[in-house]
Structure 1
Amino acid sequence: MSTSETVPFGDAPDLRVPTQKSFTRTSLGGRILFGEGALYDLAHELDNARFRRAMLIVSSNQVVLTQRSREALGGRMALEWNEVRQHVPVELADRCGASAANADIDVLVAIGGGSTIGLGKAVAVRSALPLVVVPTTYSGSEMTPIYGLTTGREKQTARDNAALPQIVLYDPMLLTTLPASIVGTSGLNALAHCAEAIWSSSADPITDSLALEGAYRLQRYLPAAYGSTDVSARGQVLVAACLAGTALGTVGTSLHHALCHLLGGMLDAPHAETHAILLPYVIRYLQPGIPDAIERLADAMGSRPDRLAHDVWSLAQAVGTPPGLRAVGIKEGQIEMVTAAALDKGIASPRSLTHEALQALLHAAWSGEAPHPG
């Protein structure tokens, strides 16, 4: 046979193609705009959707962003809300929602990071008002129907399609002013979304593709986004966060997010930093129970299954993640309280939990030492 001849299809070598399991999925809706300067498309988007009276939700400590947001909304802004707190206290959501009702608002516009978007989502669920979001970090929250509220020392999360924004505008120019410390930890938060989507029992080929592509982009571009203000690098990470949030929003969360929410609700641990710190140790713990998922995640990130936890830890350290939970104010004596709470709640985990194993996981995350390969 000459080199120019082709092999008939029927004579092709036998390839071991794995059987694809059956699946069903409900795609999440919403309009997405991505581009430099997209913030200034906001007025046009609101007009097209026939929104006339917007409530702007933006943090008071974002002075420049607040001014740009006002300019982007123009005369469509009927009310501005500036009080934003992480983990969204119930009383804050109540007050914000009451202000929206009193001002006869027809749309909520949340511009900022995960806490700002979280407040917008909670108010949207409680008020049935549509939500428009412009993210300025890599939280990925804008692509999920998951929202959380904190009462006292307990954070409860829930799913509601009313929490999904009707419109999301991604403007990578807004990310060029984001401090490197937030770039790194919120990027690791996005990676945690990818990881949990991949090992979810509800995962399907579509969410796998989204999550694996998100993980690939984060491994490749997050160090550059952390080390510079280059709009292209920060834009690549923004796309990764969108992919990660879309995948996680479809399939839901499990062990990693449950532990982070416990630490946030009970001990007021900072959201992104806690995700960034905890992720390598959760990967290391779950690895024996989900070898296929770990192998696919490792392959996407240019790692090996036995080294994935260590390599994720190394990436986290390279982009400024605090060295262990102790570095964000968690005391060693509080680990037992969190362990007991996690077991009492019966949180979902791809690998069964015991008191000893969970305590060991949290102790390792508290110390911040590199997970051993293997």
Structure 2
Amino acid sequence: MNSFIHTSRATRVVFGEGTVTGLRAEVARLGLRRVHLLASRRIDESIIASLDGVVVARTADLVQHVPIEHVDSGAQQNSKGDVDGYVAIGGGSSIGLAKAFALRRRAPILAVPTTFSGSEMSPIWGITDAGVKTTGRDEAVAPTTVIYDPQLTTGLPSPLAVTSSVNAMAHAVEALYADDGSPVVSLMAEEAIRLVGEALPGLGSERDISARSDALQGAWLAGVCLGSVSMALHHKICHTLGGSFGLPHADTHTVMLPYVIEYNARASPDTERTICRALGVPNAAQGLQDLVRSCGGPTSLRELGFREKDIDWAVELATRRPYPNPHPITAEGIRALLEAALNDELDRL
């Protein structure tokens, strides 16, 4: 008999085509009057205009991995403007920065994702300082309301749509073998993997609204998984590679996920079977990598700029304070994992 504890988070989710037109109403519903808007200059100006009168601060220059300098400068704006809420429109960079702001000045976050990562559904934050990315969990940074409008993803270039979706899938995969998982989370995780897996081939077209809607729904479920359980080796390695070596966030998740699945396969056979069932493949790691390759996604760290001489430092960082993981985390094991991923040699593991 399984033993588990499951806690549900009260996040309001508004999902559907055209739902972004209700952004101002959702801001009013939260009672926000002085918001910090985090949105790049690529966001449609009509969306920005809908917030006229309530925006007292804006950040348009958004950087991956949430540099501490950006947190500090934004925090000064928040204090000066007496901000009472944050509206983050975009991908993980905007939502991640809003979370970092909420750590300093507690206020609701309204997130409008335009990519598929799923981080908008979690209380997990990350900040990079002096080349080291630190992560944590705080319920205060979990967005209060999330608006999912598939139409906002139609302009997302295919390569980013693919890697962003696999990033979301990673949350679901790790939830399957989390040491604090539950039956509810496992069901959501499998459905997230299935939805994203089926959507990936269609993401080659920026106008395939059906595929993008499925990917967005899969990202939502994967994000719920991310926010409900602890993460393991995959996230530890990706935070290391992104925060300390500047590798692109979603691309790194995309490259590393098949390798970590294979690393954990013998230690977590139930996870292997679930992924195979969700993707309709005989081997989870190889099946996922083949799918990524067929969609034009990256399959090696070398493609992302990681170098052989970086491995020693990456091993050192990735094995510090390791997250719980099905297969033991050792320096030798992580070295083999990174060497295989560097050279696109999944069969080495």
Same fold (TM over 0.5): yes
Q: CA deviation at 1:332?
A: 1.0
- In 2, Cα distance between the equivalents of 1:226 and 1:116? 24
- In 1, Cα distance between the equivalents of 2:103 and 2:204? 34
Q: CA deviation at 1:76?
A: 2.2
Amino acid at match of 2:17: E
Q: CA deviation at 1:51?
A: 1.4
Q: CA deviation at 1:66?
A: 4.8
Amino acid at match of 1:241: A
- In 2, Cα distance between the equivalents of 1:345 and 1:49? 38
Show the counterpart of 2:5: 24
Aligned equivalent of 2:89, options 108, 111, 117:
111
Q: CA deviation at 1:340?
A: 2.0
Q: CA deviation at 1:338?
A: 0.7
Aligned equivalent of 2:37, options 46, 56, 72:
56
Q: CA deviation at 1:309?
A: 0.6
SS at match of 1:201: coil
Show the counterpart of 1:316: 292
Show the counterpart of 1:125: 103
> In 2, are the aligned partners of 1:281 and 1:371 still within 8 Å (CA)?
no
- In 1, Cα distance between the equivalents of 2:167 and 2:322? 23
> In 1, are the aligned partners of 2:267 and 2:326 still within 8 Å (CA)?
yes
Show the counterpart of 1:195: 173
Aligned equivalent of 2:157, options 179, 191, 194:
179
Show the counterpart of 2:209: 231
Q: Deviations over 1:90-129 (max 9, x none)?
A: 1211211210111122111000001111001110121101
> In 2, are the aligned partners of 1:324 and 1:367 still within 8 Å (CA)?
yes
Q: CA deviation at 1:370?
A: 4.4
SS at match of 1:23: coil
Q: CA deviation at 1:315?
A: 1.2
Bigger Rg, structure 1 or 2: 1
> In 2, are the aligned partners of 1:32 and 1:167 still within 8 Å (CA)?
yes
Amino acid at match of 1:194: A
Show the counterpart of 1:7: none
CA 1:303–1:126 in structure 2 vs 1: closer, same or farther (change >3 Å)? same
- In 2, Cα distance between the equivalents of 1:350 and 1:274? 21
CA 1:242–1:153 in structure 2 vs 1: closer, same or farther (change >3 Å)? same
> In 2, are the aligned partners of 1:109 and 1:131 still within 8 Å (CA)?
yes
> In 2, are the aligned partners of 1:35 and 1:171 still within 8 Å (CA)?
yes
> In 1, are the aligned partners of 2:233 and 2:322 still within 8 Å (CA)?
no
Of 314-323 and 102-111, the range deviating more from structure 2: 314-323
CA 1:329–1:300 in structure 2 vs 1: closer, same or farther (change >3 Å)? same
> In 1, are the aligned partners of 2:119 and 2:226 still within 8 Å (CA)?
no
Gaps of 5+ in 2: none
SS at match of 2:325: coil
1:216 aligns with 2:187: no
Aligned equivalent of 1:68, options 46, 55, 68:
46
1:344 aligns with 2:325: no
Gaps of 5+ in 1: 1-19
Equivalent residues in 2 for 1:223-372, closer than 5 Å: 223-304=201-282, 307-371=283-347
Amino acid at match of 1:256: H
> In 1, are the aligned partners of 2:340 and 2:348 still within 8 Å (CA)?
no
Q: Deviations over 1:226-267 (max 9, x none)?
A: 344211210110000000010121002110000000111110
Identity value in percent:
38
> In 2, are the aligned partners of 1:309 and 1:371 still within 8 Å (CA)?
no
Q: RMSD of the TM alignment (CA)? A: 1.5
Amino acid at match of 2:27: L
Q: CA deviation at 1:372?
A: 6.9
- In 2, Cα distance between the equivalents of 1:57 and 1:212? 32
Amino acid at match of 1:38: T
SS at match of 2:319: helix
- In 1, Cα distance between the equivalents of 2:72 and 2:230? 26
Amino acid at match of 1:117: I
Show the counterpart of 1:161: 139
Q: CA deviation at 1:145?
A: 0.3
> In 2, are the aligned partners of 1:39 and 1:72 still within 8 Å (CA)?
no
Normalising by structure 1, we get a TM-score of: 0.90
Q: CA deviation at 1:343?
A: 2.2
Show the counterpart of 1:146: 124
- In 1, Cα distance between the equivalents of 2:173 and 2:68? 29
Q: Deviations over 1:250-302 (max 9, x none)?
A: 00211000000011111011100000000001011100111112112211221
- In 1, Cα distance between the equivalents of 2:163 and 2:26? 31
